[in-house]
Amino acid sequence: MKLYIGNKNYSSWSMRSGVLLAAFGIPVDEVKLRFDFSEGSEWSRVISGITPTKRVPVIVEDDGFTVWDTLAITEYIADRHPEHAIWPRDVKARARARSLCAEMHAGFMRLRTVCPMNIEVFFPDVGARLWAEDEALRADVARLDAAWSDALAGSGGPFLFGAFSAADAYFAPVAVRLSRFGLPVSEAAAAYRDALLAHPAVEDWVADALREQDFIVEDEPYRKSR
């Protein structure tokens, strides 16, 4: 099985699937494609041949079967590996975990827009300015904080539903955003953010991202160079 991903430094969507597979020790060959959407680039040539969306991540099985979109990939991995609690075993916790992932998948657009993932850089000054100026950003973080705190209160932590699950993999890029931009959250949310960042699968992803030493202008609203 192959997992096609983008730059680890920038690709929050790729991070979700990559961290999920790594956290549960599910073997996969990662194929990284540099974000380069110009005509004739490796990205354009390869990705157009494996998924109609031309986006990552994408799972490709040995027989050529493909699965795209992070939610679909998560469900596929859960179906293929029932020995792992990809989703919480409890039916209500599982439904809540899916609800949170779906909310993340479709929402928090202001947080995503003004605080794009960039693992190698800390932007506390930018974060402070955005926090002071942007009511929509503050609303996104407040909702995120409430969702995390509620799940943690019910499970006792350290992860959203006790043990690490798909929901935690889904929020790993958010933990990066909060930490890199220094956005304020409650004590409970901060402890969860730090637990996510300290998970071995997340640490390995971050280490790989730092080794990339790449700079893509389109993904750098706050820097002109490395």
Please name each of the domains of the chain with its CATH number.
Answer: 2-84 (3.40.30.10), 91-205 (1.20.1050.10)
How far is it, in rounded angstroms, from Cα 84 to Cα 128?
A: 40
Q: In what order do the strands lie in the sheet with 58-60?
A: 29-32, 2-5, 58-60, 66-68
- The partner residues of 3 in beta bridges, in order of sequence, read 30, 59
**Residue 48 pLDDT level (bands cut at 50, 70, 90):** confident
**Residue 37 pLDDT level (bands cut at 50, 70, 90):** confident
The answer, yes or no, to whether residue 218 has pLDDT greater than 90, is yes
**CB of 194 within 8 A of CB of 156?**
no
* CA Rg value for the chain: 17
The answer, yes or no, to whether residue 70 has pLDDT greater than 90, is yes
Confidence (pLDDT) at 39: 85
Q: What is the dihedral of CA 210, 216, 217, 220, to 10 degrees?
A: -30
| Contacts of range 79-84, beta carbons closer than 8 Å, 24 or more positions apart | 81/24, 81/26, 84/24, 84/26
Strand 2-5 with 29-32, pairing:
parallel
φ, ψ of residue 151 in degrees (nearest 5): -65, -40
